[in-house]
Structure 1
Amino acid sequence: MAPASFHSNSTVCVMDASGHLGLSLVESLLQRGYTVHAAVQCHGDSQFDGISCNKQNLKIFHSDPFDYQSIIDALRGCSGLFYNFVPPEDQPTYDDEFMVDVEVRAAHNVLEACAQTETIDKVVFTSSITAVVWRQDGNSLPSDLDERKWSDVNLCRKFKLWHALSKTVAEKTAWALAMDRTINLVSVNAGLLMSPDLSISHPYLKGAAEMYEDGTFVTVDLDFLVGAHICVFEDVSSYGRYLCFNHVINSPEDAFELARKLTLSSPSPPQSYEHDKKITQQRISNRKLNKLMVDFESGPRLE
């Protein structure tokens, strides 16, 4: 028996809609029959030119996560929000603790705006696996890491894991506000997104060697990530956090193939490559999401 689906106003907002995830969400939601409010920080609309489906139901909003009224305008009339943070163009990336404050303020503003928008029934908040895996007792855990675990903010700060710290604190801020304002919030904690422009400088990769050794270095394909977002939105039984990945980097071969994708040159395998076939035990579970997505259909839904 298929899970119950979300039946409400078919207008949803995607914020920020300018990145790989946002653009793909917009296109998939349009294909499923939704009217989509695509909220972007930049003032150009050219990023939507490549959308192959009918754009009649696409409305573009220029929305700044630090401009409360612009968020309200984008959310007006929507039953749901797909929120993922994209750093402002004039702000640095995850090089220091400054980005923590930026991402937390953005999350707070967006959740507060949702609380003030009567039509919003559900919020899908994109977070990261990095908000889960960094723990002082990582090697001594009796079972796999799952959605019940949180990264240790003191550990993240100590080792300057700014991406993990930002994602952890921003997600905790969103959950606190959602509980206080009775917002129906679900989070999707994504592994490293295998996007075309992925490079070795991606902040998720800070501590990659440690994640690999711990069996918690995971990646996710864009189509799978988009499907997970739509699934947790449409399924009325979804709740809490969902760890989202469809590949575990836990062998020398996996690590070498990823290194080739991340660098412009093709690195040579280490001398021990042919002899070292040791598989690191996977110590992170996405069982909760996989169970929810068993009956999910990624094709058109609405008439």
Structure 2
Amino acid sequence: MVPFLEIDFLWDCFSGEENLFNGISSDPDKLRVFRSDPFDYHSIIDALRGCSGLFYSFEPPFDQPNYDEYMADVEVRAAHNVLEACAQTETIDKVIFTSSATAVVWREDRKTMELDLDERHWSDVNFCRKFKLWHGVSKTMAEKSAWALAMDRGVNMVSINAGLLMAHDLSVKHPYLRGAAEMYEDGVFVTVDLGFLVDAHICVYEDVSSYGRYLCFNHIINTHDDAVQLARKLTPGASSSLQQSDDYGKSFIEQRINNKKLNKLMVDFEA
């Protein structure tokens, strides 16, 4: 297995190197850091030169931290420029495009579907716009734009549609959480731990058989107590008012989403 820091190119959109690598000791002979503007095509080309793989993820710029109706245009432009740069870089073998489960779960028919939601499904952008689910709008449009360009240019791309990342700085303001109550009620509110998400990226990158989209999560919020624990994490000051259910672990909402495709790929993966 290739050590994570030996991967040719690590992308963190809009983040400075002091934030990206804060507290990480790394060998300068194995890790190079570039400041690349996703709207500056040439700066992306410079960063990609000689690379064999790209891990792409998008975070809003510091001066516009919140998702709104305009963020989709920003994210689509960034994804388009990065994929176009990859298409022009002969050494790129594979692109791992980090998307979101919000590009899967928001559909008008999600409550009446006979089959569980999985990576074959797409969120309905018009539905998302109607209910101001801007995270879903942005992730869906950006991923579709990336797929269209990848297929047109012959770029070997795989996407990972991640659940809510349970990061230490997770807050109730995270745009993924808009519509959280509905996701919970529908049995599709999924989360992912950082370690599992990293392993999934490495596995998908290294496995030559990986293809298409992969839903990535290792927990689902589908009991009252799961919801209480998450609420306590998001709003620590309100912990005393959040009570655990008397029938802990018994009452649950049926899970209506699955990540069998990723689990099958990772069955023999060793982190």
TM bracket (short chain): over 0.9
Instruction: Determine helix, strand or coil for the equivalent of 2:95.
Output: strand
Task: Please name the residue that 1:21 is paired with.
Answer: none
Give the partner amino acid of 2:21: F
Aligned to 2:61: 88
TM-score, with length taken from structure 1: 0.84
Match of 1:66 in 2: 39
Q: How far, CA to CA, are the matches of 2:223 and 2:10 in structure 1?
A: 42
Cα 1:36–1:177 change in 2 (3 A) is: closer
CA distance in 2, matches of 1:42, 1:119: 25
Change (3 A) 1:39 1:137: closer
Matched, 1:144 2:116: yes
Q: 1:34 to 1:133 in 2, by over 3 A?
A: closer
More deviation, 33-42/44-53: 33-42
1:29 matched residue in structure 2: 4
Where in structure 2 are the equivalents of 1:25-64 lying within 5 Å?
29-30=4-5, 33-36=6-9, 41-45=14-18, 47-64=20-37
Measured after TM superposition, the shift of residue 90 of structure 1 is 2.4
Note the C-alpha offset of 1:36. 4.5
Q: Contact (CA 8 Å) 2:225, 2:244: kept in 1 or not?
A: no
Cα distance, 1:29 vs structure 2: 1.1
Moved more, 164-173 or 270-279: 270-279
Gap change, CA 1:65 and 1:215, over 3 Å in 2 = same
Tell me, what secondary structure is at the counterpart of 2:233?
helix
Q: Does 1:224 align with 2:199?
A: no
Cα distance in 1 between the residues matched to 2:62 and 2:251: 42
Report if the CA contact (8 A) 2:104-2:117 is conserved: yes
CA pair 212-82 structure 1, distance change in 2 beyond 3 A: same
Change (3 A) 1:211 1:227: same
For 1:301, the equivalent position in structure 2 comes to: none
Q: Structure 1 residues 251, 35: closer, same or farther in 2, change over 3 A?
A: same
Matches of residues 181-200 of structure 1 in structure 2 within 5 Å?
A: 181-200=153-172
Q: Give the drift of 1:271.
A: 6.7
Q: Does 1:112 align with 2:87?
A: no
Provide, for residues 115-140 of structure 1, a one-character-per-residue CA deviation record: whole Å limited to 9, x for no partner: 01111110000000000000110111
Q: Deviations over 1:131-185 (max 9, x none)?
A: 0000110111101101100001110000000001100000000000011001101
Structure 2: give runs of 5+ residues left out of the alignment. none
Letter in 2 for 1:293: M
Q: For the structure 1 residues 151 and 70, does the alpha-carbon distance in structure 2 shift closer, same or farther, using more than 3 Å as the test?
A: same
Deviation at 1:89, TM superposition (A): 1.6
Tell me by how many angstroms 1:39 deviates.
5.8
Distance 1:115 1:36, change over 3 A: closer
**Native 8 Å contact 1:38 1:60 kept in 2:** no
- Name the CA distance, whole Å, in 1 between partners of 2:238 and 2:29: 44
Give the whole-Å Cα distance in 2 for the aligned partners of 1:46 and 1:84.
15
Preserved CA contact (<8 Å) 2:51 2:92: yes
CA distance in 2, matches of 1:51, 1:237: 32
- Displacement of 1:43 in angstroms is 4.7
Q: Counterparts of 1:110 and 1:290 in 2: how far apart (Å)?
A: 28
For the aligned residue pairs, the C-alpha RMSD in angstroms reads 1.9
Letter in 2 for 1:62: R
Choose from 70, 79, 99 the match for 2:52. 79
Contact between 2:10 and 2:56, CA under 8 Å: does it hold in 1? no
With the length of structure 2 as denominator, give the TM-score of the two structures.
0.94
| Alpha-carbon shift at residue 50 of structure 1 (Å) | 1.4
Instruction: Quote how far apart the aligned CAs of 1:267 are.
Output: 2.6
Looking at secondary structure, tell me which structure has more strand per residue: 1
1:156 maps to which residue?
128
Work out the percentage of aligned pairs sharing the same amino acid: 68
Q: Paired residue for 1:172, among 137, 141, 144?
A: 144
What one-letter code is carried by the residue in structure 1 that aligns with 2:88?
Answer: Q
Determine which of 260, 284, 287 is the counterpart of 2:257: 284
Listed as ranges, the matches of 1:4-19 within 5 Å are: none
CA drift at 1:49: 4.3
Report the alpha carbon displacement of residue 278 of structure 1 after superposing the two structures with TM. 2.0
How far, CA to CA, are the matches of 1:247 and 1:272 in structure 2? 19
| CA–CA distance in structure 2, aligned partners of residues 62 and 104 of structure 1 | 20
